Structure 1
Amino acid sequence: MIEDGNITKKKILETALRLFSKNGFSATSVRQICREAGFRESVIYNHFASKYDILRIIFLIEVDSVRNEFFREVDIEMMQKNPKDVLYLIADRIMIYANDENRARFLRVIMMEMFRDSRAKKLIKEDVFENGKVMLKEIFLQMMKAGIIKEKDPQILANEFLGPLIFFNLEHLLRNSSNENITFRHNLIQEHIDFFWEKIKTN
């Protein structure tokens, strides 16, 4: 969710995100954003250097949100006591992500723009995927050091962990469903984590 102390800036970002997810980044003009947000163009340029700058800020806000929400409460003590629960907690937050309206819009922008705009592709690759994997790799490294999981390439573990979750969220977005069955979601996560955990645990 986009949070910004400046009300005008927040409205511009939320309006831009809605239009980007509906029309695509390239097909959305600054003029359209202004009209939808109810501001003159000069107001937007008081806060952002360009349309691309708006997209960049949206991405940075979402990446920070993922870092703060998905990985909060995850510490060494929790990993040692309940390592499988840590993975379940992270997976559940990732699955919940696509059910939030604003975040579902953000995911649609990612899917549309990663193949259309080279600048957007760079942001997606570096800020969304790479940052997420870096955080997961660190968790797996800590688990290895504690002897909780087998010695494996943490990059591969991050990919194997995230892959099915990304697929589940993509499937959800393609169905365009805002009322996903919570029990069904939990079952998907449980099956994924059970299978994944059996492959990496030390005993």
Structure 2
Amino acid sequence: MTQVLANYEEQLANAKMPAGKKKVLTTALKLFANNGFHATTTAKIAKQAGVSEGTIYKYFSSKDDLLAKLLQPILIEIKNNFFSNLDYKTDLPSLISFIVTDRIHFIEVNFDFIRLIFQEILTGQLTDKSYQDFFSGHDGVLVKLQKLQATFPEINPKLTPPQLARIFIGPILTYVLQNKLLGLPVNDDDLDIIQKQILANLTLKY
């Protein structure tokens, strides 16, 4: 059970909504995570939730709509967890080391959901507002990176928030995709190389 999944299941348990809708969401969440989106039919969701397929379509226009409704709050969970527990009192290299090692583990553990999110963005199932809030909302990723930039003067002040996001997310995500999706070999020193790349790009003067 992943951290994101556990947190979201708790939210669903406490949410005020019709019992049938809650059963559909909870069941679909587990089936999508364990079996994948395409291998999960609405008939399978209905059977395991103990409801009719008509109940699913009462609350969701399609299976894609059901997935989108699930992923929007999961985006918030991923954003909050990914950038939580950062100790800004430490030095920049140590902070980068923590982000790389701890957050790569976070992405790997929650990879099924993150892959689903990318699929839905690419197919247009997630609304622009969903991922714009994730990046540009009042507590979004770009705001958190600006805070990081303000805390450490050695970070090049000319770097924009989107550039900071690419510097951090690019090598981390590439490493995980290489390992989890493509099955390509990774080396023992890869994480150390990633940390040095991020530090060099953050502090590069141009």
1:5-44 deviation digits (Å, cap 9, x = unpaired): 437342232124445x2527xxx54223223545322454
Give the alignment of 1:34-53 within 5 angstroms.
34-44=46-56, 48-50=59-61, 51-53=63-65
Please show how residues 131-150 of structure 1 align to structure 2 within 5 Å.
135-146=140-151, 147-150=153-156
Q: Which has the higher relative contact order, 1 or 2, with Cα contacts under 8 A spaced 6 or more apart? A: 1
**Aligned residue-pair number:** 185
- The whole-number CA distance in structure 2 between the counterparts of 1:168 and 1:162 is 10
Amino acid at match of 2:94: D
1:157 and 2:168 are equivalent in the alignment: no
Match of 1:11 in 2: 27
Structure 1 portions without partners, runs of 5+: none
Q: How far apart in 2 are the matches of 1:95 and 1:150?
A: 24
Work out the percentage of aligned pairs sharing the same amino acid. 17
8 Å Cα contact 2:31-2:45 kept in structure 1: yes
Question: Judging changes above 3 Å, is the alpha-carbon distance between structure 1 residues 127 and 15 closer, same or farther for their aligned structure 2 residues?
Answer: farther
CA apart distance, 1:71:
1.5
1:109 aligns with 2:116: yes
- The root-mean-square deviation of aligned C-alpha atoms, in Å, is 3.6
* Distance across 2 between alignment mates of 1:84 and 1:96: 18
Query: Given the two structures, how large is their TM-score scaled by the length of structure 1?
Result: 0.68
1:150-184 C-alpha deviation (Å, 9 max, x unpaired):
2122221211221111111111222469xx98x83
Give yes or no for contact 2:46–2:52 (8 Å, CA) kept in 1: yes
Q: Does structure 1 retain, via aligned residues, the 8 Å contact 2:96–2:198?
A: no
Q: Of 186, 189, 192, which aligns to 1:190?
A: 192
Of 55, 75, 92, the residue aligned with 2:101 is 92
Cα separation, 1, equivalents of 2:32 and 2:38? 10
| Alpha-carbon distance in structure 1 between the residues aligned to 2:118 and 2:90 | 37
Q: Closer, same or farther in 2 for the Cα pair 1:114/1:68, shift >3 Å?
A: closer
Q: CA deviation at 1:140?
A: 3.7
1:60 aligns with 2:72: yes
Deviations 1:38-94 (A, max 9, x none): 532245457x433334212321232122222221122xxx32432333333333343
CA distance in 2: counterparts of 1:17 and 1:144, whole angstroms: 35
